[in-house]
Amino acid sequence: MTANNKKQPNPIDIHVGSRIRLRRTMLGMSQEKLGEALGITFQQVQKYEKGTNRVGASRLQNIAAILGVPVAFFFEDAPGDTGENSAEGMSESSSTYVVNFLSSAEGLQLNRAFVKISDARVRRRIIDLVRALAADSEESS
């Protein structure tokens, strides 16, 4: 390998980093706050989230405890996952879509508001409404 060829991050490291970012943003936690809790800089958190730096096992366990998820959360729908261990057997492309959606400002706001609705019937009606709006949008395109 020449000096000009920078080593590309491992796809698993990128995936684990994106899951750290997803959970952190779902909780409304800044990189600074996570870094403080871990005793590291927010720049190091950025490197973990981009997959530039690999997260060690003990550090990942610590991150999981801080973010309130099991360590396995960071590996759900990871590249190379056959679907047996992934949530509801979703394909990689659909799980990527969900992660991207939940990482967006709109997706995060919608998710936070939706989970605060305690009435299951109201949640079902919202889902029906969104499906109807999406169908109308497709028909008018």
Q: What is the CATH number of the domain that holds 49?
A: 1.10.260.40
Q: What is the pLDDT of residues 8-20, one digit of tens each?
A: 888 999 999 999 9
- Say how many CA atoms lie within 13 Å of 88 toward its Cβ: 4
pLDDT at 23 over 80: yes
Say if residue 85 is in the same domain as residue 38.
yes
Domain encompassing residue 59: 1-103
Say if residue 94 is in the same domain as residue 38.
yes
Q: Tell me the mean pLDDT in the region 19-47.
A: 94
pLDDT at 89 over 70: no
pTM of the model: 0.63
Say if residue 4 is in the same domain as residue 47.
yes
* CB-based contacts of 4-10 (< 8 A; 24+ apart in sequence): 9/50, 9/51, 9/52, 10/51, 10/54
Say if residue 68 is in the same domain as residue 92.
yes
Say if residue 27 is in the same domain as residue 76.
yes
| Tally of domains in the chain | 2
pLDDT of residue 81: 59
Q: What is the pLDDT of residues 53-65, one digit of tens each?
A: 999 999 999 999 9
Say if residue 93 is in the same domain as residue 116.
no
Q: What is the DSSP letter of 10?
A: P
